[in-house]
A and B are shown apart, each in its own frame.
Chain A
Amino acid sequence: MDNQTFIQQKFAEFYEENASKIEAPSSISQREFGFMVFKENVMVRHKRFGTADALKTFIKESAPAHAYHSTAYYETPEAKMEDKGWLGADLYFDIDADHIATKCKEIHDSWTCKDCGFAGKGQPDVCPSCGSKRFDQRIWPCDECLDSAKKETIKLVEMLMEEFGFSSNEVAVSFSGHRGYHVHVTNEVIRELDAGARKEIVDYITGTGLNVSFFSSAVGAFRSSPETPVYALNDVGWRGRIVKGAYEFLSSATLKNLIDLGIKEKRANEIVLNKEAILNSWKREGPWRPVRGVGKEELRTIIDHVIGVQSVKIDTMVTTDIHRLIRLPNTLHGKTGWLKVSFPFSHIDIFDPFKSAVAFKKGTVNIYVEESPKFRIGDEWFGEYKKQKVELPTAAAIFVLCKDSASLVE
């Protein structure tokens, strides 16, 4: 049996028992559905279901590699794109380890140059052998990737609640089934926002277009008395975030940290020497005006760094695209065999994707692994493997098979 037939068989077995748990979106008859089917590797789009039962039956019978629904609501979801009649869309955020620079990628991700066949680890810009920019990439998720995505998710949800004012029951969080998290805002007030308004929300979350000089200029006019600090560590929104971030950064910054940001050694030395005085002035006024040791240029460098740290790394296209398809919760991800699972935001600290998203819990499978890094399923570690036969629990075997790095041994 070939890999794909086997995986699809397992997906079908899974849905036979678990299709009832699929979480259908609200207003189901106004949604478009799309499925990536195994064999042909094509996307079937523009499907409409009148009821959640019809949707579940369809997935049970077809066992697709991926199942999606539109974030949008349409008059006629089954019509061609231009005739659907857009009525509104939920607000979605996608946080994917692909958009976060993590060091672990050097360990578990690999590539092969499409032009010269040279191969290596990590995610290069150009092939070191021939200079080509065309690669085949093999990307794996790991604890570090998903922890970094989790941190971004926490930052995002806090922004959505504190600044945008959404309540915890209007913000649904889920693990995507691969390398990240989805955040779904259900409040009706955002449904009719167009792509332009959503772009502004994205810019807020990512700190794009943040004009620091605007924050720091003409502030005197708003001061109620000379004793009132203009900026303070407990200030709100991005202002507070920058002041706090700059303060925290400098509190723990070493000479090397400063030089790594691109600050000249002489100036960096001066900053380290004057650290206490600078921090004290920032406590009172915020990091907006040059003080001894930190000139305009250094200030800009530090603030840019802080914005980079404080901004949330989201996939900007997902949020601004008002016709987007997004994975259905409690369906399988064809690249991992894991589930997309929703969970309450209050549980995010203890949420373990490698445990909660495991779908296949019985039996073992014999496979021949071409190459795989070390990975974890539940409490058990596997690998790394290179050109070897192994008997793995079904979840682990399907994961490596879905990654296209192994073949079935009959």
Chain B
Amino acid sequence: MALTRSELAKYPFVFDAAEEVKRLDLDISNLENPNLKTIVDRAFNRIEEALATDPPRVSYRPGDEDKEIPSFPVAIILASATNNDYIKRRYALAEAVRAYDLLQFEDEKKIVEVVKVFNWKLRIHKQPVGYRRYDFALFFTDFLRNAEVFHEDEWKLVNRIMVNGEVFLNKREAARLIQEEVRKRIEKRFSIDVRQMLPESILQRVDDLSKKYADRISRARYIPFPKEVVNEAFPPCIQIFYGSAKTGTHISHLGRFTLTSFLLNINMKPEDIVNLFRASADFNERMTKYQVEHISGDRGSRTKYRSPTCETLKTHALCPGPDELCKTIRSPLRYYAKKTRMLKR
């Protein structure tokens, strides 16, 4: 069962964009062509909708396939040209949410057809499993690749029914996983070097759009930690690691990594961190210094490591159990950010 053109307009991400681009002579440098104006306008409009709505959503316009299908790849090019991560992420999410909304009204066969392009092992499954009924069975690796970023309990594999490698889903859940797959795929399609290929007038419109939403973009930026370390704002896990380091009690490798990356992120000086580990029975100054510098990104891969999340600490049995504030955050660093602000007030 192939998808019709009106279905392609609903789910343009399944479409072989190259073919459509060829059909319309949609050369990047040719976007000024007046014949393409309505397509380009709708492409800009797609991005603008993503920025103006919350949660972000691109609208669905039935009956306008000739504009709806090609405006999708064009919008990806335009979003790339903004060179702005916020706009790009927001646009990808808005297209994905649109797909989620639409998929929930499709019948199961259509959904299976749409995901063919992802190579998922998805099949319709209506028989009850363990006394419950579902709509689909999805191979667990396809499930994990998308569900691992969701934080709700119901998306943890351990809380799913899985038999023979298949996770059972209802239609809403399948649509939610597809949303995530679409989001990731769009983000992968953003390329870096489109600006030099775009005509001047189009670039001008891209920059105007970025400027229009500039204040929104800066608001989404990240709030820095205080310059001085505030020990009272440490979450329970860090308090334990910190105490253990000071008394020289054995800390697991991940515990040491968590403590070090946490302290580096909250602006503790590397030499102070090295000193903290001095009480450890097997302390080796050269080695400790090397490791701290590695985690800080001054050595090796040059990436400054973020501190592990609460989820990771739970997996490795390093979470001592949450306090009230823990229940509102997902990582020790967020805890610290919140607590320092609370203490300030």
- The residues of A with any CB-CB pair to B shorter than 8 Å are 80-82, 114, 133-134, 162-166, 189-190, 193-194, 196-197, 199-204, 206-211, 214-215, 219, 222-224, 228-232, 235-240, 316-317, 320
The minimal Cβ–Cβ distance linking B146 to chain A, given in whole angstroms, is 10
Query: Residues of A contacting B247 with CB < 8 Å?
Result: 133
Query: Residues of B contacting A223 with CB < 8 Å?
Result: 131
Query: Residues of A contacting B317 with CB < 8 Å?
Result: 316
Q: Is the CB of A231 within 8 A of B314?
A: no
Cα A190 to Cα B159 in complex, Å, equals 20
Stretch of B86-94, B136-144, B231-239, B329-337 contacting A (4+ beta carbons < 8 Å): B136-144
Cα A189 to Cα B166 in complex, Å, equals 13
Q: Is the CB of A134 within 8 A of B250?
A: yes
The answer to the question of B129 belonging to the interface, with a C-beta cut-off of 8 Å to chain A, is yes
List 12 extra interface pairs beyond A80-B300, A240-B130, CB under 8 A: A114-B281, A133-B249, A164-B162, A189-B139, A193-B141, A197-B145, A200-B157, A203-B158, A209-B153, A214-B154, A236-B163, A316-B315
User: How many chain-B residues does the 8 Å CB contact rule pick out?
Assistant: 43
Which residues of chain B from 132 to 181 have a CB within 8 Å of any chain A CB? 132-133, 139-141, 144-145, 147-149, 153-154, 156-166
Given the known inter-chain contacts A114-B281, A224-B128, A239-B130, please indicate yes or no for A200 contacting B163, CB distance below 8 A: no
Contact of B161 among A82, A210, A237, A317 (CB under 8 A): A237
Q: Which of chain B's residues has its CB closest to A228's CB?
A: B131
The answer to the question of B254 belonging to the interface, with a C-beta cut-off of 8 Å to chain A, is yes
Q: Is the CB of A222 within 8 A of B316?
A: no
Q: Is the CB of A189 within 8 A of B163?
A: no
The 10 closest A-B pairs by CB, nearest first: A165-B165, A82-B301, A133-B249, A165-B164, A197-B144, A222-B132, A236-B130, A211-B153, A196-B148, A134-B281
Query: Residues of B contacting A235 with CB < 8 Å?
Result: 130-131
Q: Which of chain A's residues has its CB closest to B132's CB?
A: A222
The answer to the question of B311 belonging to the interface, with a C-beta cut-off of 8 Å to chain A, is yes
Cα A237 to Cα B159 in complex, Å, equals 9
Given the known inter-chain contacts A165-B166, A235-B130, please indicate yes or no for A201 contacting B159, CB distance below 8 A: no
Q: Is the CB of B253 within 8 A of A210?
A: no
Contact of B158 among A81, A204, A222, A224 (CB under 8 A): A204
- Report 25 cross-chain contacts, Cβ distance below 8 Å, ordered by A residue: A81-B300, A133-B247, A134-B248, A134-B250, A163-B162, A165-B140, A189-B141, A190-B141, A193-B141, A197-B148, A199-B311, A199-B312, A203-B156, A204-B158, A209-B153, A209-B156, A209-B159, A219-B132, A228-B131, A231-B131, A236-B130, A237-B163, A239-B161, A317-B254, A317-B316
Given the known inter-chain contacts A197-B141, A222-B131, please indicate yes or no for A166 contacting B159, CB distance below 8 A: no
Cα A235 to Cα B131 in complex, Å, equals 8
The minimal Cβ–Cβ distance linking B240 to chain A, given in whole angstroms, is 12
Cα A320 to Cα B144 in complex, Å, equals 14
The minimal Cβ–Cβ distance linking B301 to chain A, given in whole angstroms, is 4
Q: Which of chain B's residues has its CB closest to A126's CB?
A: B249
Q: Is the CB of B140 within 8 A of A164?
A: yes
Cα A82 to Cα B163 in complex, Å, equals 37
Q: Is the CB of A207 within 8 A of B315?
A: no
Q: Which of chain B's residues has its CB closest to A200's CB?
A: B157
Cα A224 to Cα B301 in complex, Å, equals 56
Cα A232 to Cα B163 in complex, Å, equals 16
Cα A239 to Cα B163 in complex, Å, equals 12
Q: Is the CB of A224 within 8 A of B133?
A: yes
Query: Residues of A contacting B281 with CB < 8 Å?
Result: 114, 134
Cα A303 to Cα B249 in complex, Å, equals 33
Cα A166 to Cα B160 in complex, Å, equals 18
Cα A209 to Cα B315 in complex, Å, equals 8
Query: Residues of A contacting B312 with CB < 8 Å?
Result: 199
Cα A208 to Cα B140 in complex, Å, equals 18
Cα A219 to Cα B132 in complex, Å, equals 8
Query: Residues of B contacting A190 with CB < 8 Å?
Result: 141
The minimal Cβ–Cβ distance linking A330 to chain B, given in whole angstroms, is 28
Cα A201 to Cα B248 in complex, Å, equals 33
Query: Residues of A contacting B140 with CB < 8 Å?
Result: 164-165
Which residues of chain B from 95 to 110 have a CB within 8 Å of any chain A CB? none
Contact with A along B207-251 (1 / 0, CB 8 A): 000000000000000000000000000000000000010011110
Contact of B129 among A81, A211, A236, A238 (CB under 8 A): A236
Q: Is the CB of A230 within 8 A of B166?
A: no
Q: Is the CB of B158 within 8 A of A230?
A: no
The minimal Cβ–Cβ distance linking B235 to chain A, given in whole angstroms, is 18
Q: Which of chain A's residues has its CB closest to B302's CB?
A: A82
Cα A334 to Cα B161 in complex, Å, equals 42
The minimal Cβ–Cβ distance linking B169 to chain A, given in whole angstroms, is 13
Cα A317 to Cα B164 in complex, Å, equals 25
Cα A193 to Cα B140 in complex, Å, equals 11
The minimal Cβ–Cβ distance linking A109 to chain B, given in whole angstroms, is 15
Q: Which of chain A's residues has its CB closest to B139's CB?
A: A189
Q: Is the CB of B253 within 8 A of A200?
A: no
Cα A80 to Cα B302 in complex, Å, equals 13
The minimal Cβ–Cβ distance linking A166 to chain B, given in whole angstroms, is 7
The minimal Cβ–Cβ distance linking B280 to chain A, given in whole angstroms, is 8
Q: Which of chain B's residues has its CB closest to A230's CB?
A: B131
Cα A165 to Cα B138 in complex, Å, equals 12
Which residues of chain B from 300 to 315 have a CB within 8 Å of any chain A CB? 300-301, 311-312, 314-315
The minimal Cβ–Cβ distance linking B119 to chain A, given in whole angstroms, is 11
Query: Residues of B contacting A215 with CB < 8 Å?
Result: 159
The minimal Cβ–Cβ distance linking A241 to chain B, given in whole angstroms, is 11
Cα A42 to Cα B144 in complex, Å, equals 38
Query: Residues of B contacting A194 with CB < 8 Å?
Result: 148
Query: Residues of B contacting A165 with CB < 8 Å?
Result: 140, 163-166
Cα A8 to Cα B249 in complex, Å, equals 33
The minimal Cβ–Cβ distance linking B123 to chain A, given in whole angstroms, is 14
Q: Which of chain A's residues has its CB closest to B148's CB?
A: A196
The minimal Cβ–Cβ distance linking A111 to chain B, given in whole angstroms, is 12
Cα A209 to Cα B158 in complex, Å, equals 7
Q: Is the CB of A210 within 8 A of B139?
A: no
Q: Is the CB of B248 within 8 A of A133?
A: yes
Query: Residues of B contacting A214 with CB < 8 Å?
Result: 153-154, 159
Cα A203 to Cα B158 in complex, Å, equals 6
Cα A73 to Cα B126 in complex, Å, equals 39
Query: Residues of B contacting A211 with CB < 8 Å?
Result: 153-154, 156, 159
Cα A87 to Cα B247 in complex, Å, equals 41
Q: Which of chain B's residues has its CB closest to A232's CB?
A: B131
Query: Residues of B contacting A224 with CB < 8 Å?
Result: 128, 131, 133
Q: Is the CB of A222 within 8 A of B133?
A: yes
